[in-house]
Amino acid sequence: MMYKRVIFLGVISWLLMALSCRDQSPEGPVTNVDLQFVATFGDQPLVMYDKYDYDDTTRVFFERFNFFISDVSLVAAGSQSETPLLEVDYISFDEVQSVAAAEAGVRVQLTKVPVGSYAMLRIGVGVPADLNVDADYSPTHPLGARKESHYWSGWGSYIFAKIEGKADTNGDDQYDDVAFSHHLGTNELYQNVELPVSLELVEGQDGVVKVVVDVRKLYVRADGMLNLVENPGTHTDSQLVVAKSIMDRFPFAMHIAP
Amino acid sequence: MKRHVVGWLSIVFVGVMLIWGCRKPSGVDPSDECEPLTHIDYEPTPKEVVVPPNFPPMPVPPDNPITEEGVALGRYLFYDPILSSDSTMSCASCHMPELSFTDGLAVSEGVTGEQGTRSAMSLLNVGYFLNGLFWDGRSPDLEDQALQPVENPVELHESWPRVEEKLRRHSLYPELFRKAFGIENTCEITKELTAKAIAQFERILVSSGQSKYDRRVNGVPGVFFTESELRGFDMFFDISPELPDAECGHCHNVPFFTTNDYFNNGIEAVSDLNGFPDKGRGDVTGSIFDNGKFRAPTLRNITLTAPYMHDGRFQTLEEVLDHYNSGGHYADNRDPLIRPLSLTEEQKQDIINFLKTLEDIPFTQNPEFQNPWE
């Protein structure tokens, strides 16, 4: 009798331990998804300091391209069920100095993503208003780590994206004609981007979603490309219109690669 | 039988040689020289780093928490020439508190009188600098950085084993190391613990919050910028559309007046990116596009840290402003924000007047930061 009780208590203990150690997600099994950001200029990989045709008369190279992403979520196929996955992170192509690095892109891992079928990826470009404050984020937080370089007290806002480079406008192969520095921020410039995906996540297998950002499309205007000579910077309130015109193009500049 | 004897003798011989080869070079077991320290109490007291209201909390690595005892030890070490080969120089020889922990020289001199190639950087708020230390960012953190000057031939020109030996035999340090780190005997005094202690001391080198700028932004009653300082502030951070953008704040942002990033600010005339006499960041990353880039230093206490730039080429703030106003020399990697500014003489002076509001004399006079040997 005593022997049976011991076995019974042992089984109960084992069950309790097993239950307490299993994944707590109410949605069932989960996996990871790599968001792979790749930047291009048109159909060419974007490599810092490589030269690109900007328009008929201008060639450019880029020295910095970085931006914050936020409120990343996946929307399930066949329903509007949305799974929030990431609050905020920083994507930088500043150190991309080879085609291989450009093709590898910059990766952000989304963890504990419920397995299933997804039809939409939602990404905010910039810092959402509730986080876009002068707060003491820890040095390991994406907004803490980049505060000195990206929080602009004059705006009371993080710089959501930085695009910097130089241009040769007279065809002499010297890039000293224009140095452009487009720093884009403030709450009204925040962008919500929705990207259709066809993503099947199965247990035990990580997913990959490749997000392409075509920097050239950020500068396309109805009448051609943004005039860099007239608009080399976007730092003051008076340049907000230009800044907004660049940020507004993000939804059109991003797509999911097959 | 004879062969057996030869065989056994061979084995014994090889064994003896192996033991002989493995013995310690000195012939003395170092454990014999280790003085026990467990009779000294080890009760470290956590130390909170006091920072101004407009600063974030000091980031502290979990494997080197700041304690009263660790800071005390680090302070003794920082000011002790025991770290140099001829006992003439300490960390403080190039990082003097009255000069905001710089040395007033264009490039620093080592114990042999030989000159280095770069200026001593200010240690003000250095605990916040998490994007590499030195002008080129070659050290990831203070614990690593503090190891390097000791063995640099144009700095302290000593060897770490000798420093460790000197510290172990010292009349004061074994007790201080015991109290700071709980070591059990003198042989546990190492370069790593030495560097940790110095790093702890350096992390408390934080602004006092008493500069005019800090008092103004923290709302101290009755503290206002003059009209000139305010114009300088507006141009520094490009706040007023009526005034030119001096582009300063992009690399020297609040609250530390540095972004801790690396820039080519156009001070060097080169024909191509391989032409920089000092490649700076490029020597660390190996990228040609980083050649000629250096860390943007803090502008806090800039009035005390002349001469300026990584090689001390500019003697005055007026020269610095003249350089930035000119736009400097073109290179593909010159920062895009370095461009001709068209500032008038009055506007340059306004910016200098604003920079003077960053002067923090109480920091330089903080008793906790001074030489404990005096």
DSSP readout, B286-300? Answer: --GGGTTBEEPPP-T
Per-residue pLDDT at A24 exceeds 50: no
Judge: A49–B59 Cβ closer than 8 Å, yes or no.
no
Q: What is the mean pLDDT of residues B236-246?
A: 92
Q: Which residues of A are less than 8 Å from B237 in CB distance?
A: 153-154
A vs B: CB pairs below 8 A: 68
Per-residue pLDDT at A16 exceeds 80: no
- pLDDT at A235 (0 to 100): 73
Mutate to test the interface with A, among B299, B330, B341 (most CBs of A within 10 A): B330
Least confident of A41-50, B237-246, B254-263, B332-341: B237-246
Give residue A145's domain range: 26-256
Closest residue, chain B, to A165 (C-alpha): B336
* Residue A211 to residue A257: CA distance in whole angstroms: 6
Helices B68-78/B191-203 angle, 10° precision: 100
Judge: B238–A236 Cβ closer than 8 Å, yes or no.
yes
Residue among A179, A186, A148, A181 nearest A163 (CA)? A181
Percent of the residues in chain A that have a pLDDT greater than 70, as a whole number: 88
Q: Which residues of B are less than 8 Å from A183 in CB distance?
A: 250
Residues of B with CB under 8 A from a CB of A: 56-57, 59, 130, 237-239, 241, 245, 249-250, 253-254, 256, 258-261, 287, 289, 330, 332-339
**Residue B200, token pair as written in the block:** 């702890």
**Residue A258, token pair as written in the block:** 């097959």
Judge: A148–B333 Cβ closer than 8 Å, yes or no.
no
Q: Find the DSSP H helices in chain A.
A: 2-21, 99-104, 142-145, 147-150, 215-219, 240-247, 250-253
Q: What is the mean pLDDT of residues A126-134?
A: 97
Q: Which residues of A are less than 8 Å from B287 in CB distance?
A: 95, 97
- pLDDT at B33 (0 to 100): 81
* Residue B52 to residue A243: CA distance in whole angstroms: 34
- Residues with Cβ within 8 Å of residue B290, at least 6 apart in sequence: B262, B279, B280, B281, B282, B284, B333
Residue among B336, B338, B334 nearest B320 (CA)? B338
Residue among A115, A112, A116, A117 nearest A24 (CA)? A112
Per-residue pLDDT at A2 exceeds 60: no
Q: What are the tens digits of pLDDT across the range B8-50?
A: 555 555 454 444 444 433 333 445 589 999 999 999 999 999 9
Per-residue pLDDT at B348 exceeds 90: yes
**Residue B329, token pair as written in the block:** 């020399």
For residue A98, is it within any domain? yes
Judge: B253–A152 Cβ closer than 8 Å, yes or no.
yes
The per-residue pLDDT of chain A, averaged, comes to 91
Collapse the DSSP code of A130 into the 3-class scheme (helix H, G, I; strand E, B; otherwise coil) and give the result. coil
Per-residue pLDDT at A43 exceeds 90: yes
For residue A102, is it within any domain? yes
Contact A93, A48 (CB under 8 A): yes
* Residue A191 to residue A189: CA distance in whole angstroms: 6
- pLDDT at A12 (0 to 100): 55
Q: What are the tens digits of pLDDT across the range B158-210?
A: 999 999 999 999 999 999 999 999 999 999 999 999 999 999 999 999 999 99
Judge: A179–B249 Cβ closer than 8 Å, yes or no.
no
Q: Which amino acid is at A114?
A: P
Nearest to B130 among A139, A183, A235 (CB): A139
Closest residue, chain B, to A175 (C-alpha): B332
- Sign, CA dihedral B316-B317-B319-B320, equals positive
Judge: B332–A180 Cβ closer than 8 Å, yes or no.
no
Mutate to test the interface with A, among B203, B236, B238 (most CBs of A within 10 A): B238
Q: Which residues of B are less than 8 Å from A165 in CB distance?
A: 336
- pLDDT at A80 (0 to 100): 85
Q: How far is B62 from chain A (nearest CA, A)?
A: 13
Helices B191-203/B173-181 angle, 10° precision: 70
CA distances from B322 to B173, B202, B325 (A): 49, 33, 5
Model's pTM, two decimal places?
A: 0.88
The per-residue pLDDT of chain B, averaged, comes to 93
- With b meaning 16 or more CB within 10 Å and e meaning fewer, what string describes B128-153? bbbbbbbbbbbbebbbebbbebbbee
Q: How far is B287 from chain A (nearest CA, A)?
A: 8
* Residue A37 to residue A92: CA distance in whole angstroms: 9
DSSP code, position A37:
E
For residue A3, is it within any domain? no
Per-residue pLDDT at A199 exceeds 60: yes
Residue among B105, B102, B121 nearest B113 (CA)? B105
Judge: B56–A233 Cβ closer than 8 Å, yes or no.
no
Q: What are the tens digits of pLDDT across the range B356-374?
A: 999 999 999 999 999 999 9
Q: How many domains does chain A have?
A: 1
Q: How confident is the model at residue A224 (pLDDT cuts 50, 70, 90)?
A: very high
Percent of the residues in chain A that have a pLDDT greater than 90, as a whole number: 81
Mutate to test the interface with B, among A137, A138, A140, A148 (most CBs of B within 10 A): A148
Judge: A179–B287 Cβ closer than 8 Å, yes or no.
no
**Residue B179, token pair as written in the block:** 């109290």
Per-residue pLDDT at A1 exceeds 80: no
For residue A8, is it within any domain? no
Q: How confident is the model at residue A139 (pLDDT cuts 50, 70, 90)?
A: confident
For residue A66, is it within any domain? yes
B255 prior amide bond cis, ω within 30: yes
Closest residue, chain B, to A140 (C-alpha): B59
Long-range contacts of B139-142 (CB under 8 A, 24+ apart): B141/B61, B141/B199, B142/B195, B142/B198, B142/B199, B142/B202, B142/B203
For residue A35, is it within any domain? yes
Q: Which residues of A are less than 8 Å from B140 in CB distance?
A: none
Q: Which residues of B are less than 8 Å from A164 in CB distance?
A: 335-337
What is the Cα B91 distance to its own chain's centre?
10
Per-residue pLDDT at A47 exceeds 50: yes
Q: What is the mean pLDDT of residues A195-223?
A: 97
For residue A231, is it within any domain? yes
Nearest to A148 among B237, B259, B333 (CB): B259
Judge: A145–B260 Cβ closer than 8 Å, yes or no.
no
Say if strands A44-45 and A30-41 run parallel, antiparallel, or are unpaired: antiparallel
What is the Cα B160 distance to its own chain's centre?
18
Q: How far is A31 from chain B (nearest CA, A)?
A: 30
Mutate to test the interface with A, among B129, B254, B334 (most CBs of A within 10 A): B254
Phi then psi for residue B188, to 5 deg, are: -85, 0
For residue A11, is it within any domain? no
- With b meaning 16 or more CB within 10 Å and e meaning fewer, what string describes A60-97? bbbbbbbbbbbbbbbbbeeeeeebebbbbbbbebeebb
* Strand residues in B219-282 grouped as ranges (E): 262-263
Q: How confident is the model at residue A23 (pLDDT cuts 50, 70, 90)?
A: very low
Percent of the residues in chain B that have a pLDDT greater than 70, as a whole number: 91
* Residue B179 to residue B200: CA distance in whole angstroms: 14
**Residue B148, token pair as written in the block:** 């390097």
Q: Which amino acid is at B209?
A: G
DSSP-assigned states of every residue in B173-228: HHHHHHHHH--SBGGG--HHHHHHHHHHHHHT----S-SHHHHHHTT-TT----HH
- pLDDT at A4 (0 to 100): 61
- pLDDT at B9 (0 to 100): 53
Q: What is the mean pLDDT of residues B234-263?
A: 95
Judge: A152–B249 Cβ closer than 8 Å, yes or no.
yes
Q: What is the mean pLDDT of residues B307-312?
A: 98
Q: What are the tens digits of pLDDT across the range B69-115?
A: 999 999 999 999 999 999 999 999 999 999 999 999 999 999 999 99
Per-residue pLDDT at A15 exceeds 80: no
- pLDDT at B26 (0 to 100): 38
Per-residue pLDDT at A7 exceeds 90: no
* Residue A142 to residue B179: CA distance in whole angstroms: 37
**Residue B215, token pair as written in the block:** 């008092």
Judge: B336–A136 Cβ closer than 8 Å, yes or no.
no
CA dihedral B73, B78, B82, B85 (to 10 degrees): 150
* Residue B127 to residue B143: CA distance in whole angstroms: 11
Judge: A97–B59 Cβ closer than 8 Å, yes or no.
no
Contact A148, B259 (CB under 8 A): yes
Nearest to A236 among B245, B261, B334 (CB): B245
Judge: A145–B259 Cβ closer than 8 Å, yes or no.
no
Q: How far is A174 from chain B (nearest CA, A)?
A: 9
